[in-house]
Structure 1
Amino acid sequence: MWLTDVSIRRPIFIVMFVLALVVLGWQSRSRMPAELTPNIELPYVTVLTTYPGAGPNEIETTVTEPIEKAVMSIGGVRNVTSSSQEGISTVVIEFELGTDPDVAAADVRDKVGAIKGNLPEDADEPKVLKLDIGSRPVMLIGMYGSRSAREMRILADDVITDRLAKVRGVAAVNIIGGEEREINVAVDKNRLQAYGIPITAIVQAIRTANLNIPAGSIKEGARDYSVRTVGEFQTAEEIADLRIYIPGRAGTQGSTIRLGDIATVTDTVAEPKQITRLNSKPSVTISIQKQTGANTVEVANGIKRELHELKSVLPHGVKLVIASDDSTFVKYSLHDVNKSLTEGILLVVVIVFLFLHTVRATFIVAIAIPTSIMATYLPISAFGFTLNNMTLLALSLVVGILVDDSIVVLENIERHLRMRKHPRQAALDGRSEIGLAAITITFVDIVVFVPIAFMGGIVGQFFRQFGITVATATAFSLLMSFTLTPMLASRWMKSQDEEERDREALRQRLLSGTATLKDRIDAFFRAVFGVMERFLKSLDIRYRGLLQWALENRFLTVVIGFVSLLVVVAMTMPLPSRSAGAYSAKLIMPRVIIALLALALSAVAMKIDVHSRKVALAFGVLMAVVALTVYLPFGFSMFPDVDRGLFTISVRTPPGTSLKATDEVVRKIERVLEQVPELKKGFYTSVVGSAGTSIFGTNTGSEYAYIEAQCVDKSQRERSVREIVDWVAARMASIPGAAMITTSVVSGMGGGGPTQGLQKEVQGQNMRDIIEEANRVAAVMRRNPGAVDVEISYKESKPERRIVVDRVRAAEFNLS
């Protein structure tokens, strides 16, 4: 092979080439963003519209349905789902996989904009949002102290938000909790009636007076002035001094009156819609969202630096505490994967040393593996990949593939050295002899993993980086086996004559007593390798005997392999329970078929391989018993459970429950959390008035609440987060006043609420019939073992008082 010949004849060239790959790979790795999972694009677009004061039925008919009809005509729409609750309409549009989310969002924005005039005037501007997994908060910060809730909110809005928003990579800083300033105008209705002033006149007077209006410009000689009418109120006293016009009656002239004479104007705080606490203490919660594609770790580090600088600005007694930080888990996860990768390389090097019996060959392998891995960072960085669990998992997996190429090459070079060839010639001949076979083996590995990168669906987007990383690293391994490995072997490995001379010289020094420490170490390892060789030879003898038996009983060998595969499949099937009833026969039938097939094939093998009848009989009976009785409870999920010490509690009280009553339920839950020792040095944030964060929107209202709890690091606790959640759930079951309390462990993908493992959709034309059928389906699901927190998406509206206008009487009095 010409490439190998050039590498051996031009070692400096190949060394500089490999060093360039390593340096560029290292630089690329340092610039790659660190994330927990790959960046994926989900084909979902959400339209969020708020209509203050409207009930779910009004939201459904006036807002949700017009938006649904408008977006259904967009090309590529796969499904449209909506949720209408008090004051909020949420429409989620699912597109076909492969649709560009930017184009889809633009199409939705155009359609919604076209029907904007058909929406209620009091409804806010619809917001069109792309679904982004990275849009959930990467950090939650709690602010508490001795200042009032109003001062804390002002401090968060005017100081902290501006400072944190300037951090590179921050997309939004959201403030929750505290008390917001509000000017309250309490009108005396008796005085209004006495003066004959309608309440709408008060509202209109305040709205028209509270304006700053540009009025053009004035040019005076060399000076140019801008003219602006300033009318915005600065204090509550200014509002109280506002003059309200009173129309004249029966020809009398109109007059004016101070607003303060007919109303009480106070500078106060708004009625809270949400209540937040940190570790049961009143607080203001600050959530940080990062920009799409931004580095989670760098954003978090920038936030932490800014928080450190804010300590000198904040008033005495006010503290900022990081209650939740996604970057910590990202760093821990990537550190664990990097640690596993390093350990894998070291173990491979040790195993290679034990079986090759030479330090020189082992050192060559130890150089080839990290060189191939480091060079892989160059192309995957150019592809836009990030340092995440999938790419690092791919590199950990590929270590076993990388070592194959080097070992095969070195083993063949060693064989040519035993033919008494010069090391350079042995390296060239050894590599060239198996060059085509090495290329074939490498491309077989590549064609196995490359299709993984082109799988469809959301799972395919996650594994895209995995497949391409494995294929790239394998290709670099092939390159190193043609260049770096034979070049190093030609320089470092000894010829057979040199080996024999060194072995004889070592023996003479040991016999004469002039051996050095290095000689004694060499002798020790030679003795260890001798023991290993004898052990491997004994294994070889036993394997030959087993192989001889398999060749003599070929049909039985095939039966053993085939039936073993079927039995393993049967072991993953659940065994029927006593409560399954008639359904138990369906569950056990596949196991029975496999057991009968095992017995039948073993009986046939007894007739064909007559010398192994006892083996066939014993195998068939054993497999039949295992197929009918053994169950291996394998779990199936898209992502594994990871103990990051974070869990959430979602609370829902009956419809119409006040914020204060829901807060009482949350306080009882907080008293349970205070008993958890793993939270003594941890943090838990309580938010009353919201059901938590979600990439599909969330439920808001006085009947909802959620708590996010962060335990101490798992190295500082004995219980897993799952055990802590079970303990907390058992003690929350007796808390009165809640319609439902659910707990959820936040795993690798994050999230701020309980996961929905299984959803059943009920469709129909009549809403009452749909609700009845949904309740029947939910009742069936609740009886299924393992199902918890089963509920339907339909929620009753809060109690309301309706005013039904008598249109005839209203017309008589000229009222509308």
Structure 2
Amino acid sequence: MRLSALSIERPVLAAVATLLLMLFGLLSYSRLPVREYPDTTFPIVSVMTVYPSADAQLVETDITSVLEDALSGVEGLRTLRSTSREGLSTIGLEFSLTRNLDAAANDVRDRVTRVQHLLPQGIESPLVMKEDSDADGIMWLALISDRHTELEMTDFAERQLKDRLAPLPGVSSVMLDGGRRYAMRIWLDPDRLASRLLTVQDVEDALRTQNVSMPTGRIESTQREFSVRMGGGLEKPPQFNQLILAYRDGYPVRLQDVGAAEIGPEDDRKLVRVNGKPAIGLGIMKQSKANTLEAARGVKRTLPAMEALLPEGMQLVTAFDSSIYIERSLHEVYTSVGLSLILVVLVVFLFLRSARATLIPAVAIPGSILGTFVIMQMTGSSINTITLLGFVLAIGLVVDDAIVVVENVYRRIEQGLSPTQAAVEGSREIGFAVVSTTLTLAAVFFPIIFLPGIVGRLFAELGIAVAGSVLLSGFIALTLTPAMCARLLGKTVGTASPPRGSALDASAWLRWMTHRYRLALEIALKRPSTILSGAALSLIVSAVLMLGLPSELAPLEDTGWFAVHVSAPEGSTLDYTDRYARDTEETTARIPEMDSYYTVVARGWRPTLVNRAVTWVTLKDWSDRNRVQQKIVDDVQPALSAIPGATVFAINPPPFNQEDSKTPVQLVIRGPSYDVLDNIVRQVRHDLTGNQLVVNVESDLDLNKPELRVDINRDKAADLGIPVETIGRTLEVFLGGRKASMFMREGKEYPVIMQTRPHQRGTRSDIEQLQVRGTQGELIPLSNLVTVRETVAPKQLNHYEKLRAVTISAGVGADSTLSRSIESLEQTVRKHLPPGATISYAGESKEFLESSGNLHMTFLLALLVVYLILAAQFESFRHPITVLLSVPPALAGALLALLLFRGTLNIYSEIGLMILIGLVTKNAILIVEFANQLCQGGTPPRAAIVEASVLRLRPIVMTTLSTILAALPLALATGAGAAGRWHIGLVVICGLVLSTLLTLFLVPVVYLLFAGTAPVRQSAAVPEPFPEVLPRHSPSQG
């Protein structure tokens, strides 16, 4: 080729071109972001609205439905989900991957503002957040102390730590878990209020009118000016206790006469512990599109400065850190890259038996890999687990083209040409094959750009890494490699047996193998039906296994941590739930591999779910334990299930940054009413009892939350001149607590909250004894105005795409896979699905089902693209079929390996299958192209295909072994992220082995079948007749 001839003529130019690639590659590498995976997180915007004391149904109708109508048409919206629970509405908007998060958040904020006037009075302004409101923190810090109270630790965290963490890159917010924020608690005694003819309204009016501090103007003299501020604000409990509420018989009634004021926590309905010790948690919530690794690194860099601020006796510890797994996983992949590099260079040296000769293909590795970083920076890619896995495989690929060129130059030197002439003729002769194989492998990844969703993002960056390195390796093979061959390879006289140890020496086993291969090939060509039957069998096996193998989105990884969820019965108190959370802690503390645990009792935002708790268990380092995380979870589950009085189960973290609080199987049912949905759920849960494929079945629809309903006799209340609002406010103050005003403490404002003490609001009669004032000033007990009855109400009401919905969540059984569990659950649900109800999927299940259908189509499209490219290169529609028939054996080998070693079809194994298409066609292209050249030179087709196959055996074996050894560290992977690497390595190695063995016979057989009708493409270079390179003798003969 002209490019090769120019490089041989001007070697410095070829060297400079490669050096520039490496130089700019190093610069790009330093600027590329590092993360666990490509950016596969969908942009999520959440809208949270607090409606104090409102029940779930009121929140649904007055807030959630109004906001949903306004938000449903936002550009790029993928999914709209909402939850209405007591006092809180949360709406989650998931956008397409291409939607800009900031722009989406601004659109949401604008639409909320437009309808805010339609929302009821008394709510807090809707909060729009660039994060999932149900997401857990990527990292949890905790304050613990034996000297300081939880109030003091919370105050320190708010004043000194929270504001230092919130502005860090990638951090959306910092959530205080278990915080005890200061408040002035006004504990009112209903009996003492009644004895002094006072109501809660009197107390609230006094607090609002007397606990004030406001500017009143200024005084100006001829020379000086003073601002005037009325200092009437109350700051300490004694001041509040002395507050005059009214006068009775000429004597003042003070607050201390009807209650007591004291400093206490604003909310104490959440508990946090680190290794069993009470703590205040600081959850680092990342933005939905932020890089977890960079956000965690930023937090860690600030820790020393924050620790220096801690008061004596207070400790700041890292209670949970999900970034540790990411760091270790990336480290393991970097290690695999290094091992692959060493093994590939070693196998090249063993074949070439010369350090100088080995240097020629070895240079292609840094040249093509580093050059790819430039392409990655231009396309916005990142360095992550997936792209690094691509580089592990690329190390075996990028030397292939250089090996083919070097081996062909050797052959020409053996025929008596000088190194320069051999380099010119050898590169010209092999140029078309190099271009064909390079374009074919790169073309495999072209259809990936059409893949939507998570899988498209994963494959796209992988394709850029692999295709970019292969294309650059082809460029280096046609430029620098011929130039180095001409300069580094010495002239060798073509003899049948070169001196042992020279660059041209082939080992005895390779000589013997080549001789045996020629004999076996002659036999195979005489019995083509046997070979074709084997190919047909491999095609059938591939199809059967492709449809029959268990499948999942991704294999479970040993992330070094897992979560244990506790679900107590509806209506359980905080103390009740905490009792079972402690039982869970005791169970997990007995795990030998346990390093630490972090427990939160009462999950969620305001108001919290006091019947839910979760414990994040961090395990010891991977090198310090024998059991993997999945085994530990399976072993501890029976002990957790044996805890009575609550549902307790452990779950492994889901793949690809999915919510760790969600189980993998999530099916959404939309129906006309919650009663219908509840009936479906009950029947499904009954049918799934004892099902081993679907475990830990739960739903987010509970209509049995215990509730005391207060029915007001409106006529009687109207007759007595008592507004319904007054009754509602009285109940709110005594039972739920009402913020009456604010007070200052050390420069910050805190709420003043009126409420009765817990022992005075424990029974139904406590409600009936409360009193309100009538129009004549008399006090009337609520028992005369209301009826209190016990009933049940929904804990929360969920919408999916604005329709009433329930989500059934479940785990995957120990002997099941995600695909089988989803199928089992769907079959059960469809048996009970009434007309008008529909089903869909969410979370990991949704991504898995979407990716499965798209991948099969992309796989077929990749084969079609490769076929068309080969047809254009060969100028034939038949020879590409010859080449592509090497794919079914590769698939059969890979899928059989997955079957035998209990693997699954998942993202990683499918990545391996996609790469296999390009890998195995390379060997077939080498044989077909050389056979075409020989035929064009006048050699009969049979002789041509035999000689081409024998001639190309050595480079095929070398390139196959280099690729297998490059993938070997993946197949032997252990530690963080090993499951995904193992699947790729297993698929590539086993697929290559079977495909290579069968291709060496299948391609010649099929080539001869088409030889009589297929025109031979005119080649620019026809190889000269060559002597027998490898003599026909066994290893014992020398």
Q: TM-score, normalised by structure 1?
A: 0.81
- Establish whether residue 234 from structure 1 lines up as the match of residue 235 from structure 2: yes
Which of 626, 630, 634 is residue 718 of structure 1 equivalent to?
Answer: 626
- Mapped partners of 1:218, 1:67: distance in 2: 49
Q: Deviations over 1:627-668 (max 9, x none)?
A: xxxxxxx44222221112200011111111000110000111
- Mapped partners of 1:135, 1:169: distance in 2: 15
Give matches, 1:366-445, under 5 Å.
Answer: 366-445=362-441
CA drift at 1:194: 5.5
CA drift at 1:242: 3.7
- Mapped partners of 2:87, 2:291: distance in 1: 35
Structure 2 equivalent of residue 149 of structure 1: 150
- Mapped partners of 1:752, 1:282: distance in 2: 26
- Mapped partners of 2:6, 2:94: distance in 1: 56
Distance change >3 Å, CA 61–CA 300, structure 1 → 2: closer
- Mapped partners of 1:376, 1:145: distance in 2: 51
CA drift at 1:113: 2.3
- Mapped partners of 2:613, 2:508: distance in 1: 69
Tell me which moved more, 789-798 or 212-221: 212-221
The letter for the 1-side match of 2:158 is D
Which of 762, 765, 773 is residue 680 of structure 2 equivalent to?
Answer: 773
CA drift at 1:445: 1.6
Tell me which moved more, 639-648 or 791-800: 791-800
Query: Is the CA contact (8 Å cut-off) linking 2:325 and 2:560 kept in structure 1?
Result: no
Structure 1 equivalent of residue 528 of structure 2: 554
**What secondary structure sits across from 1:791 in the alignment?**
strand
- Mapped partners of 2:303, 2:203: distance in 1: 45
Give matches, 1:513-552, under 5 Å.
Answer: 525=501, 533-552=507-526
CA drift at 1:241: 3.8
Structure 2 equivalent of residue 281 of structure 1: 277
Structure 1 equivalent of residue 609 of structure 2: 701
Which of 323, 344, 349 is residue 348 of structure 1 equivalent to?
Answer: 344
Query: Is the CA contact (8 Å cut-off) linking 2:90 and 2:133 kept in structure 1?
Result: no
Structure 2 equivalent of residue 648 of structure 1: 563
**What secondary structure sits across from 2:708 in the alignment?**
coil
Distance change >3 Å, CA 291–CA 813, structure 1 → 2: closer
Structure 1 equivalent of residue 109 of structure 2: 109
- Establish whether residue 733 from structure 1 lines up as the match of residue 680 from structure 2: no
Structure 1 equivalent of residue 583 of structure 2: 668
- Mapped partners of 2:212, 2:36: distance in 1: 49
- Establish whether residue 657 from structure 1 lines up as the match of residue 572 from structure 2: yes
- Mapped partners of 1:529, 1:134: distance in 2: 65
Query: Is the CA contact (8 Å cut-off) linking 2:41 and 2:288 kept in structure 1?
Result: no
Tell me which moved more, 648-657 or 217-226: 217-226
Query: Is the CA contact (8 Å cut-off) linking 2:237 and 2:262 kept in structure 1?
Result: yes
- Mapped partners of 1:428, 1:226: distance in 2: 93
Give matches, 1:245-644, under 5 Å.
Answer: 258-290=254-286, 296-496=292-492, 525=501, 533-570=507-544, 634-644=549-559
Query: Is the CA contact (8 Å cut-off) linking 1:25 and 1:374 kept in structure 2?
Result: yes
- Mapped partners of 2:327, 2:158: distance in 1: 30
**What secondary structure sits across from 2:323 in the alignment?**
helix
Tell me which moved more, 717-726 or 477-486: 477-486
Distance change >3 Å, CA 398–CA 216, structure 1 → 2: farther
Distance change >3 Å, CA 128–CA 154, structure 1 → 2: closer
**What secondary structure sits across from 1:494 in the alignment?**
coil
- Mapped partners of 2:24, 2:210: distance in 1: 65
CA drift at 1:767: 2.2
Distance change >3 Å, CA 568–CA 463, structure 1 → 2: closer
The letter for the 1-side match of 2:61 is T
The letter for the 2-side match of 1:455 is L
- Mapped partners of 2:587, 2:608: distance in 1: 24
**What secondary structure sits across from 2:611 in the alignment?**
strand
- Mapped partners of 1:543, 1:133: distance in 2: 64
CA drift at 1:465: 0.9
Structure 2 equivalent of residue 203 of structure 1: 204
CA drift at 1:710: 0.3
CA drift at 1:264: 1.5
**What secondary structure sits across from 2:394 in the alignment?**
helix
**What secondary structure sits across from 1:654 in the alignment?**
coil
- Establish whether residue 686 from structure 1 lines up as the match of residue 599 from structure 2: yes
Identity %: 32
How many residue pairs match? The answer is: 721
- Mapped partners of 1:22, 1:105: distance in 2: 41
Distance change >3 Å, CA 339–CA 78, structure 1 → 2: closer
Distance change >3 Å, CA 193–CA 352, structure 1 → 2: same
CA drift at 1:125: 2.1
Query: Is the CA contact (8 Å cut-off) linking 1:782 and 1:790 kept in structure 2?
Result: no
Q: Deviations over 1:27-68 (max 9, x none)?
A: 322232221111135265433222222222222222222222
Query: Is the CA contact (8 Å cut-off) linking 1:54 and 1:87 kept in structure 2?
Result: yes
Query: Is the CA contact (8 Å cut-off) linking 2:189 and 2:259 kept in structure 1?
Result: yes
Q: Which residues of structure 2 form unaligned runs of 5+?
A: 724-1038
Query: Is the CA contact (8 Å cut-off) linking 1:134 and 1:292 kept in structure 2?
Result: no
Query: Is the CA contact (8 Å cut-off) linking 1:644 and 1:747 kept in structure 2?
Result: no
Distance change >3 Å, CA 80–CA 307, structure 1 → 2: closer
Distance change >3 Å, CA 433–CA 230, structure 1 → 2: farther
- Mapped partners of 2:130, 2:711: distance in 1: 41
Structure 1 equivalent of residue 91 of structure 2: 91
Q: TM-score, normalised by structure 2?
A: 0.64
- The alignment yields a C-alpha RMSD, in angstroms, of 3.3
The letter for the 1-side match of 2:679 is E
Distance change >3 Å, CA 136–CA 17, structure 1 → 2: farther
- Mapped partners of 2:135, 2:643: distance in 1: 34
The letter for the 1-side match of 2:587 is V
The letter for the 1-side match of 2:91 is V
Query: Is the CA contact (8 Å cut-off) linking 2:36 and 2:293 kept in structure 1?
Result: no
- Mapped partners of 1:652, 1:74: distance in 2: 35
Distance change >3 Å, CA 770–CA 291, structure 1 → 2: closer
**What secondary structure sits across from 1:799 in the alignment?**
strand
The letter for the 2-side match of 1:803 is V
Distance change >3 Å, CA 179–CA 730, structure 1 → 2: same
CA drift at 1:416: 3.2
Distance change >3 Å, CA 667–CA 421, structure 1 → 2: same
- Mapped partners of 1:539, 1:211: distance in 2: 97
CA drift at 1:291: 5.1
